Amino acid sequence: MSPQAGVTIQTQFETAAQQREADQLGMWLFLATEALLFGGIFAGYLGYRVLHPETFAAAAAHMKVGLGTLNTAVLLTSSLTVALAHHLVQQGRRRATLVLLGATIALGCAFLAIKALEYTLEFREGLMPLPGLEFRYDGPPPGQMFFNLYYTMTGLHALHLTVAVVMMAVIFVLVWRWRTPDRQARQVEMAGLYWHFVDIVWLFVYPALYLV
Amino acid sequence: MTSPGTTTPLRHDRQLWLLSAIFLLLQALLLITWGAHYVPLGAFTPVVNFGIAIIKTLLVAIFFMQLRAESGLVRAAAGLGGLWLLILFTLLLADYLTR
């Protein structure tokens, strides 16, 4: 590593700009593959919904729209705190960055808690189509497929958010230590891109499942 | 990128105000989507819902993910994800909607 204008540059790069573009390009390509992972499930959803619009609407009526909307607001707020953290860490404002990263982690946990509450309510209503559990939904079969898609989409999303929360916790510790501030700025930026992506996935899960 | 250590008074920080304004816009769009759920729009419901979702995505990508400040190469990489999805959904709907 060699210093250049106060920025730590890894040996394979010549300039800070080149290093930054490689960071960005790598992260965005990874996010494109993630988009396609979710895209496959959304494609399945789309096919079923186009073929059975009424049954999907009837099954979606069991969703807790208020909790889903609240969760969307929570995630959008967490995206703001991440964006602000990225902006302030670049200015070397360590304390403000820590507060914002802490808020982000708290909001991520709040989302997961609300999601867990929803799952609990659905479990009590007998709306979980799992082996060994009584499935008490009385509509036609595509309605059951709606619930399969609901748990796959929200479950995969919650898994991604859990990873994002753990990643933010690691970044929080790195910013806390503050050993190489310019690297910490890039770390907040990269983790932030992943966080925003998980938020964007939810922006589509929400209308797809709650607002049918 | 501002070099670490440079500080502007926060109330004069234009980027801070911009990000906050985008956030308010996103929450307003969420309220519109939520409200639209209780209005009988018929076949337009998915158009309105996913139209707003796409607008929200663009706001997050351009302002929060800073795509507006990135190079053409990075923007192209970001756009490619959307392009592949567009191909996937177009071909799928071309089948299902014409049966």
Crossing angle of the two packed helices A181-209 and A16-51, in degrees rounded to 10 = 10
Which CATH number applies to A33-209: 1.10.630.10, 3.30.450.30, 1.20.120.80, 2.40.50.140?
A: 1.20.120.80
Dump pLDDT digits (tens) for A66-124: 999 999 999 999 999 999 999 999 999 999 999 999 999 999 999 999 999 999 999 99
Q: Quote the DSSP letter at residue B41.
A: -
Q: Is residue B79 part of a domain?
A: yes
One domain for residues B87 and B49? no
3-state secondary structure of A4: strand
Does A28 sit within 8 Å of B30, measured CB to CB? no
User: How far is the alpha carbon of B58 from chain A, nearest alpha carbon, in Å?
Assistant: 9
Q: Which residues of A touch B81 (CB under 8 A)?
A: 28, 31-33, 35-36
To 10 degrees, what angle do helices A65-89 and A181-209 make?
A: 160
Closest CA to B23 of A117, A87, A109: A87
Average pLDDT over residues B59-75: 94
Among A36, A72, A212, beta carbon nearest to B84 = A36
pLDDT at B11 over 80: no
CB neighbours (10 Å) of residue B47?
A: 10
- Is this prediction's ipTM beyond 0.90? yes
Judged by CB atoms closer than 8 Å, whether chains meet at B23 and A25 is answered as: no
CA distance A64 to A34: 27
Of B1, B13, B30, the CB nearest to A76: B30
Quickly state the pLDDT bin for B1 (edges 50, 70, 90): very low
Question: Domain for residue B21, yes or no?
Answer: yes
